[in-house]
Structure 1
Amino acid sequence: MKPIYAKPPLGSRAAFQVRKDYFDVLDTKWHYHSEYELAYINYPHGKRIAGNSIATFEGGDLVFYGPNLPHAWSHEPVAEEQKGYNKGLLYDAIVVHFSESCFGESFFAIPEMSAIQAILKKSTRGLLVHGTSRKRIAQWMTQLVDDTGSKRVILLLQILEELSTSKEYGLLSSAGYWDNLNDHDAVRMSSIYEYIIQNFTKEIALEEIATQAHISPSAFCRYFKARTKRTLKEFVNDLRINYACQLLEENRHSITQICFEAGFNNISNFNRRFKEIKGITPQQYRTNILGIYHK
């Protein structure tokens, strides 16, 4: 699952690109690009990877990604009657790509755009949109597919305005996850990241992951921290805790079960690491989330 640098094929006369894709089974490659991306995934149940965030979603997914944040979606096993296999293209995704200079080099830098500029900066971590804002933006994205000319420009600005004033979103990835990589780094880091994603719930041996980067273990430690601003242990713990948060939100397993499923060896270590990263215990996190959902 190596990330692919994907250059959205903007039309020669288009300021930004909008497309609607139809599919039976959700499965996109892990990729990144220099454009911002708004994506509405109309799919019943799947998995989303965004930077160092791994989570499942239900009932559709609406996200806003900043430039160069690796991301992907894939299907999760569902009941036989829900599967799209051999039943035609039942599902769709609306995707918008635009650059910061799509309306001119300094358009988003003018004072009137300060709130939108702030949300563009936040999008470098990936935004998961929910609530009323999600419904509004999904409707406007559907209109974007059919509209032309200035109507498209107005709708995109309307979407960005909604994001800039809304509180109905969460940040997905850690800050500074994928900073300042050249082409050579991107290839090497993709190999490292692929290995981590496949093994983060197990014990990761430094010697084995260093082999993926074709460098010595000591050189790997320096290289990895320089690129991610974290040690390997910190990075893996971030992934495990993010994954544990998703399992806590699903409320299908006990905290002890989640501890081991997320890759921790004992419950005391899990509780300690969780509180270090999230500021509260797993039980407090679950209580808070259930309180929000049941309001």
Structure 2
Amino acid sequence: MSPYLELVGIQQQESFKVWTHGYPYETVRWHFHPEYELNLVTHTSGRFYVGDHTGTFEPGQLYMVGPNVPHNWISEVPDNQPVPERCRVLQFSGKSIMGGIEAFPELGQLERLLVDAQRGILFSPSTSAKAAPLMEELLHAKGFQRVHKFLSLLEILATAHDSTLLATPTFQPDPQGYQSSTINQVLSYLAEHLDEQLSEADLARYAGMEASAFSRFFRRHTDVPFIQYLNRLRINKACEMLISSDTPVTDVCYACGFSNVSNFNRQFLAQKTMPPSKFRQYYRLNEDCAALG
């Protein structure tokens, strides 16, 4: 089965994204993305798939997968009980890390790590134990400390000598092939046209489907209705603009594709539990506190 495209959405003012998610979750599916990913399992056990490799996982294990390598972790949970936190995830682009290597030749030892990630890496328990505290600290780190801890984490991984490569040496990701699937073309189109007035009928025409068939198709592949998925992408973009600029909230609303401010505020409140202006205020307050600390 062709893997699904995950839209990672690293914010413009950041070089990497670090977050947690529980189980079940929207990205718990056979998927790929152009970014590198570190995945630290904190709770549950089950079966994982990386490239052409499959195995079992348990809490405390740390994995790294390279760009466009399909992967998935499926937890075995009694009675399908939800789990608040299944893993901690860190994602970064190859462009940002290669730019760092070009600027600082001392980072050249990371190149071997990046090459190995193309096959997927399972780190040893001792390496995972060293890396785990840094991944937790990175969830809250700001500014220079964020970069410092990120590079410290990469140093631990790059100097580890007891790691296991997962996919076979002959495995090659096929991002162009993956991207050719209809759902991935639709997701890419959404990401590129968020600032436009989009409707489910528009995307149905783009996919060459009747509206009712497209609605079922989209929900089957994403587990959520089209408008819910679209609003989530737009609110994520709005958060990036609120954090990285002084653009007025009204302008942010229209730049993210919302047609009126009241709907934008309603959607933002539903997803972030606070209005856009308060979100910006709290973020900058946290930044100021981090600078003082």
TM-score bracket for the superposition, by shorter chain length? 0.5 to 0.7
Matched, 1:118 2:112: yes
Deviation of the 1:106 alpha carbon: 3.1
State the Cα distance separating 1:132 from its structure 2 match. Answer: 1.5
Q: Is 1:137 aligned with 2:140?
A: no
> Take 1:178 and 1:50, find their aligned partners in 2: how far apart are those partners?
12
Q: Deviations 1:241-269 (Å, cap 9, x if unpaired)?
A: xxxxxxxxxxxxxxxxxxxxxxxxxxxxx
Structure 1 residue 24, shift from structure 2 partner: 5.9
Q: How many Å apart are 1:26 and its aligned residue?
A: 10
- Decide which of 107, 122, 131 is 1:128's aligned counterpart: 122
1:187–1:142 distance in 2 versus 1, CA, 3 Å: same
Counterparts of 2:44 and 2:27, CA distance in 1: 13
Could you tell me how far 1:25 is from its partner in structure 2? 8.0
Question: Could you list the runs of 5+ residues in structure 1 that have no partner in the other structure?
Answer: 191-295
Code of the aligned partner of 2:135: M
Q: Structure 2 length as normaliser, TM-score?
A: 0.56
**SS of alignment partner, residue 9 of structure 1:** coil
Quote the Cα distance in structure 2 between the aligned partners of 1:21 and 1:185.
25
Which residue pairs with 1:204 in the alignment? Answer: none
Report the Cα distance in structure 1 between the residues aligned to 2:27 and 2:74, rounded to whole angstroms.
Answer: 4
Q: Which residue of 1 aligns with 2:243?
A: none
Question: How far apart are 1:182 and its partner, in Å?
Answer: 1.7
**CA shift in 2, pair 1:97/1:67, >3 Å:** same
In structure 1, C-alpha distance between the alignment counterparts of 2:24 and 2:32, rounded to whole Å? 23
Mapping 1:2-151, distance limit 5 Å: 2-23=2-23, 28-76=28-76, 80=78, 85=81, 89-102=83-96, 106-109=99-102, 110-151=104-145
| Change in 2 beyond 3 A, CA 1:149/1:184 | closer
Which residue does the alignment assign to 2:176? 182
Matching of residue 168 in structure 1 with residue 162 in structure 2: yes
Q: Could you list the per-position Cα deviations for residues 36-80 of structure 1 after superposition, in whole angstroms to 9, with x for gaps in the alignment?
A: 00111222311100001111122343101111100001123x6x5
Give, as a single letter, the amino acid of the residue that structure 2 aligns with 1:128.
L
Check whether the contact 1:100–1:108 (CA below 8 A) recurs between aligned residues.
no
Change (3 A) 1:135 1:51: same
Q: Distance in 1 between matches of 2:63 and 2:174?
A: 23
Q: Is the contact between residue 24 and residue 91 of structure 1 (CA under 8 Å) also seen in structure 2?
A: no
Distance in 1 (CA, whole Å) between partners of 2:66 and 2:176 is 17
SS of 1:101's equivalent?
helix
CA distance in 1 between counterparts of 2:175 and 2:139 reads 33
Residues 63, 184 of structure 1: alpha-carbon distance in 2 compared, 3 angstrom cutoff: closer
Matched residues in 2 for 1:26 and 1:91: separation? 13
SS at match of 1:178: coil
SS of aligned partner of 1:40: strand
State the match for 2:249 in structure 1.
Answer: none
How far apart, in 2, do the equivalents of 1:174 and 1:36 lie?
18
Hey, what's the Cα distance between the residues in 2 that align with 1:74 and 1:26?
A: 12
- Counterpart CA distance in 2 for 1:183 and 1:91 is 33
| Inter-partner Cα distance in structure 2 for 1:161 and 1:95 | 17
The change in CA–CA distance for 1:60 and 1:133 in structure 2 (over 3 A counts) is: closer
Q: Flag the 1:54–1:98 CA change in 2: closer, same or farther, 3 A.
A: same
In structure 2, give the amino acid aligned to 1:144: L
What are the within-5 Å matches in structure 2 for residues 223-242 of structure 1?
none
C-alpha distance in 2 between matches for 1:149 and 1:11: 14
Contact 1:51 1:69 in 2 (8 A): yes
- RMSD after superposition: 2.7
